[in-house]
Amino acid sequence: MHDFDLIVVGGGPGGYEAALHAAKLGLRTALVEKDFVGGTCLNRGCIPTKALLHASSVYEEAKNGAQLGVVAEPAIDLNAIYAYKQQVVEKLRGGVEGLLKSAKVTVLQGVGTLTAEHTISVNGTAYSAAHILLATGSVPARPPIPGLDLPGVYTSDALLNGVEPFKSIVIIGGGVIGMEFATFYNDLGVDVTVVEGLDRLLPLLDKELGQNLAMIMKKRGVKITTGAMVQSVTKTETGLSVNFEAKGTSGNAEGEVVLCAIGRRPYTEGLFGNGIALEMDGRRIKVNERFETSMKDVYAIGDVSAKIQLAHVATAQGLYAVNEIAGKANGVDLSIVPSCVYTRPEIASVGMTEQEAKDAEIPVKVGKVTMFSNGRTIILSGDRGFMKVLAHAETRKILGVQLMCANASDMIGAWGEAIANGLTPEDMLKAMRPHPTFEEAMSDALRDLIAKLG
**Distance separating alpha carbons of residues 145 and 166, to the nearest angstrom:** 23
Cβ 137 vs Cβ 303: under 8 Å:
yes
Give the β-pairing of 228-235 and 29-33.
unpaired
Instruction: Tell me which residue of 353, 414, 438 sits closest to 389, measured CA to CA.
Output: 353
Choosing from 118, 131, 392, 435, the catalytic residue is 435
Rg over alpha carbons for the chain, rounded to the nearest Å, is 23
Active site residue 435: yes
Q: Sign of the C-alpha dihedral, residues 235, 237, 239, 245?
A: negative
Q: What's the per-residue H, E or C state across the chain? A: CCCEEEEEECCCHHHHHHHHHHHHCCCCEEEEECCCCCHHHHHHCHHHHHHHHHHHHHHHHHHCHHHHCCCCCCCCCHHHHHHHHHHHHHHHHHHHHHHHHHCCCEEEECCEEEEECCEEEECCEEEEEEEEEECCCEEECCCCCCCCCCCCEECHHHHHHCCCCCCEEEEECCCHHHHHHHHHHHHCCCEEEEECCCCCCCCCCCHHHHHHHHHHHHHCCCEEECCEEEEEEEECCCCEEEEEEECCEEEEEEECEEEECCCEEECCCCCECCCCCCCEECCEECCCCCCECCCCCEEECHHHCCCCCCHHHHHHHHHHHHHHHHCCCCCCCCCCCCEEECCCCCEEEEECCHHHHHHCCCCEEEEEEECCCCHHHHHCCCCCCEEEEEEECCCCCEEEEEEECCCHHHHHHHHHHHHHCCCCHHHHCCCCCCCCCCCCHHHHHHHHHHHHHC
- Helices 176-187 and 46-63 pack at an angle, to 10 degrees, of 30
**Distance separating alpha carbons of residues 339 and 43, to the nearest angstrom:** 20
Instruction: Tell me which residue of 360, 347, 367 sits closest to 407, measured CA to CA.
Output: 347
- Using left for φ > 0, alpha for ψ between -120 and 50, and beta otherwise, residue 147 falls in left
Q: What amino acid positions are annotated as catalytic residues?
A: 435
